[in-house]
Amino acid sequence: MESSGMLLCLLCVSLVFVMCGGQSREVSAEEYEAKKSPASTERELVEAMEELLGKFQSTLPSTEKRGSIPLCGVGDRCAVRLGPRIGKLCDCGRRSNCNAFLLKCI
């Protein structure tokens, strides 16, 4: 009984293998071009973006301001007292402020 079940299973598997084994997937030239084209399309898009960035680079506003104050690190002197006024030497970076009493970035 058990051997007949195994024999039937083996027969079904071999039948499926014989029926599907003769079929092969051929790739046409159009399908090959369709598979190849995403990489070339990406490359063309990158080239177009670089060209556009090159054109508009001169028209974009610069990040530097006129008379900009340089950045200082934490613990550096950021201001100096000039009589009743305080003049700035540099601007504290992100997450730090210039303490008016210590005149340092904290």
Distance CA 92, CA 72 (A): 5
Assigned token pair, 24: 């092969």
pLDDT in tens, the chain (106 residues): 567 777 777 877 777 776 666 555 666 666 666 666 666 778 888 898 888 888 877 665 555 555 677 888 888 888 877 778 878 888 888 888 888 888 888 8
Strands (E), 1-106: 71-72, 79-82, 85-88, 91-92
Please check whether residue 88 is in contact with residue 100, taking contact to mean a CB–CB distance below 8 angstroms.
no
